[in-house]
Amino acid sequence: MRGALVAALVLVGAGVAGCDDEPARPATTEADPVRLEGDWTKVGSEGHLYLQVNTDGSRHYEIFRVDLATGDATQVTDVPGPFGVSTFSVSRAGLVAAQAPHGVDEIALMTSDGHLEPVPRARGSSPDISNRGDLVALRPVGKRSWELMLRERDTSAWRRLGGGPTARAAWLDPTTLAVVDTHDGHTTWRAITVEDGRVGPRHAVAPGRYVPADYGVRDNGRPLLLLGDRGAPALLWEPGRPAERLPPAARRAGCLSPDGTEALLTGGGDLAVLSIETGDVRSVGDPGTRVLGCAWVERRFGPD
């Protein structure tokens, strides 16, 4: 299972407005298109990276795809408006994004020809798509609270699964979600079974406010989540086991490799790859623009 609750270490489910902790790069123009730079051979030789890339030196982001076998980088979305793509997720079933062509996030699925097609009745953020095609997203309720909504594959109806001020969700398996939130100053999690909406007991993860940044599956088949807390090293966590704090460089961790052994470091400045086992970091280079988040997957989606 692969996906990306992208930008969670820098920004989670809030649209790209308000993400100003680093100086903006010089603005680009229509005559000066973004060129995504980097030594992609340092990442790996197989699979694809999906990167949330700043295209105007301010707050507009689009998704680029890098073919690691060839090093070719292709822009796969083109969203009008001031913000572009706010968050996105990729799984074996496809690509889903929160786009904001009119300044308010709405959920859209990528079609086979590479277009983002809005999902009916789907205003919200932090969408995530399971390997079988089910969608989960956050819908705002009031100013500071969210509802967790589920849209099962081949249906058009959304179903409420729960809510709260800081809840975020990640798929543990095709039928179960881990809902991560903050309770009494600690990050906690509960399992929700999507068929019947049954909510399991609350379990502690770690002190502080952490949110899912990405998830995958270890070689032994156990689900693996990358959790981020703004400004603090990320945590690697398997439900039911103690969370593992990653090295300081992982403050910028954006996504896990398909096998869960490495993490791509994004969020500003040079891109790099962190070995989770050894803590070693290898530089990919300056991308030439800000990269807010990523997904590292085996299968490609989007236009040629």
Domain, as residue range, for 63: 3-18+35-132+210-297
3 state SS of 159: strand
- Are 53 and 61 in contact, with CB atoms under 8 Å apart? yes
pTM, full prediction = 0.82
Give the contacts of 206 (CB within 8 A, at least 6 positions apart).
186, 187, 227, 235, 237, 243
Q: Which two tokens stand for residue 238?
A: 């398997």
Q: What is the pLDDT along the chain (304 residues), one digit of tens a residue?
A: 454 443 333 323 333 333 333 434 333 334 356 778 899 999 988 899 999 999 998 899 999 999 999 999 999 999 988 889 999 999 888 899 999 888 788 999 998 778 889 888 788 888 999 888 899 888 877 766 788 888 988 888 888 887 666 567 888 888 888 888 878 888 888 888 888 888 899 888 888 888 877 877 776 667 788 888 766 778 888 888 888 888 776 677 689 998 888 889 886 678 999 888 888 889 999 999 999 889 999 877 766 6
Q: Rounded distance, CA 108 to CA 114, Å?
A: 12
The answer to whether residue 28 sits within a structural domain is no
Give the contacts of 233 (CB within 8 A, at least 6 positions apart).
245, 246, 247, 248, 249, 250, 251
Half-sphere exposure of 29 (CA within 13 A, CB side): 1
What pLDDT does residue 95 have?
93
Selection from 76, 29, 15, 87 nearest residue 57 by Cα: 29
The answer to whether residue 77 sits within a structural domain is yes
What pLDDT does residue 77 have?
93
The answer to whether residue 222 sits within a structural domain is yes
What pLDDT does residue 5 have?
42
The answer to whether residue 169 sits within a structural domain is no
3 state SS of 40: helix
What pLDDT does residue 53 have?
93
Give the contacts of 245 (CB within 8 A, at least 6 positions apart).
233, 234, 235
The answer to whether residue 161 sits within a structural domain is no
Q: Beta-strand (E) ranges in 100-247?
A: 106-110, 116-123, 125-129, 135-141, 145-151, 159-164, 168-173, 176-183, 186-193, 198-199, 203-207, 211-217, 223-229, 232-237, 244-245
Give me the torsion for CA of 75, 77, 78, 81, rounded to 10°. -130
What pLDDT does residue 23 have?
39
What pLDDT does residue 223 have?
78
Q: Rounded distance, CA 241 to CA 220, Å?
A: 14
Number of domains present in the structure of the chain: 1
What pLDDT does residue 96 have?
94
What pLDDT does residue 166 have?
59
The answer to whether residue 119 sits within a structural domain is yes
Instruction: At 15, give phi and psi (nearest 5°).
Output: 75, 155
The answer to whether residue 187 sits within a structural domain is no
The answer to whether residue 80 sits within a structural domain is yes
Q: Which two tokens stand for residue 127?
A: 């969408």
